[in-house]
Structure 1
Amino acid sequence: MKPKAVIFDIGNVLIEWQPERFYDREIGPDRRRAMFDAVDLHGMNDRVDSGGHFTDTVYATAEDYPDWRDEIRMWHDRWIEMASPAIDRSVRLMRALQKRGTPVFSLTNFGIQSYDLAATHYPFLREFDRDFISGHMGVIKPDPNIYAQVEHQTGLGGADLLFADDRADNIAAAAARGWQTHHFDGPDGWAGRLVAEGLLSEDDAQ
């Protein structure tokens, strides 16, 4: 069944998201590993993605861990350096789908303020036909409720939707609802899938 809409995750699908790589560069792999062992930074980020205020959440965590205070604040103060660069071919695929008349939605674990910041650097984040941003929705993937909200708000469900995400748990939760899914491991494979589904031509997908 040809999908009626395509849904893109953002982190590691449209924009590279590799905090460990950033910290390896800034403080070295050994200190980075020690910090990530001492501080649940991904849990902190989940709180932001669930609707917590970006600045308040990161800075409060920094105060809770004074030995890592400056490094934790980097998660906020230098966040755009972690969320980079854009995956240019994925952006082209998104725009090619829209040019062919296929609606494109986002479904992303992203904070309210951090998304607004990202959109100032990556204007394509304002180009989706519909935005589904976890910070505004109050729930993060792979909670089934976030997928249910997409279905309710779009009137689409099951095989009507083709969803690309880099995380297997997020894909599995969507597949459990009958969505068509693509486990993203690079734009080349995603381009091939969109061609195979009849959504893009080979030329469109370049």
Structure 2
Amino acid sequence: MRVVFDFGGVLFRWHPPSFLARVWPQRCPDEAAGAVAAREFFTQYAGDWGAFDQGLIGPEEVIHRIAARTGWPEADVRAVVDAVPSELQAVAGTVALIEAAQAAGHRTHYLSNMPGIYADHLERQYPLDRWFESGIFSSRVKHSKPGAEIFSLMEAQLAVPPEDIVFLDDHPDNIEAAAARGWQAILFTTPEAASATLRERGLIR
């Protein structure tokens, strides 16, 4: 079996409301305000941030576009873009889940919507080559989830029947797209819940 992990919100901490409350305390005094700002800043990972995810624009352009769209000062927008690597901390429970999948004889991979500068950072800071046999970053293939193209690229890389792919992601749209292709798609909420689901399916001990 091939077990495929998303990164932000699954293997790495990614919670925009609390992130923006930390980075922008003057603008987001609490998580509720952070959630409102996050919807405007990241636009549900479409628009300008979606283009950043897909590697179609770089950090300077996304900063300029977000500032122009929202009216926020470019310096404020840059502070958020620059702070993302500090938000992307490995989640210990998910690392343990990867190790459990490997111990059970499964091969592990990743499929992540990730701008290039952050993908580079994660490769420098974490042992991705130990955790995963292979993977795809959206910025390096110019496609992103939930688009069909990136799932097709993953299938070509894995070269197994769709039903032999177990996929963990925290976004319902991505899960629906994977399930429609015949993948065993599991909506990730916490490492503990994901572990329980994999145990119920007999995939890990």
Q: 2:18 touches 2:34 (CA, 8 Å); kept in 1?
A: no
Normalising by structure 2, report the TM-score. Answer: 0.84
Q: CA RMSD in A?
A: 2.4
Equivalent of 2:166 in 162, 165, 168: 162
Gaps of 5+ in 2: none
Q: Quote how far apart the aligned CAs of 1:130 are.
A: 1.1
Counterpart of 2:12 in structure 1 is 15
Counterpart of 1:5 in structure 2 is 2
Matches within 5 A, 1:188-203: 188-201=192-205
Equivalent of 1:133 in 125, 131, 137: 137
* 1:75 counterpart = 2:80: yes
Deviations 1:13-32 (A, max 9, x none): 10111233222123332675
Pick closer, same or farther for the CA change 1:199–1:104 going to 2, 3 Å. same
Gaps of 5+ in 1: 202-206
Instruction: State how far apart, in whole Å, the 1-side matches of 2:36 and 2:191 are.
Output: 33
* 1:186 counterpart = 2:186: no
Bigger shift: 133-142 or 40-49?
40-49
Q: Quote how far apart the aligned CAs of 1:105 are.
A: 0.8
Pick closer, same or farther for the CA change 1:67–1:163 going to 2, 3 Å. closer
Which 4+ stretches in 1 moved above 6 angstroms? none
Equivalent of 2:108 in 98, 104, 107: 104
Counterpart of 2:124 in structure 1 is 120
Report the count of equivalent residues. 197
Pick closer, same or farther for the CA change 1:193–1:56 going to 2, 3 Å. same
Deviations 1:131-178 (A, max 9, x none): 111111111100111111111222123211110110111000000011
Instruction: State how far apart, in whole Å, the 1-side matches of 2:146 and 2:106 are.
Output: 25
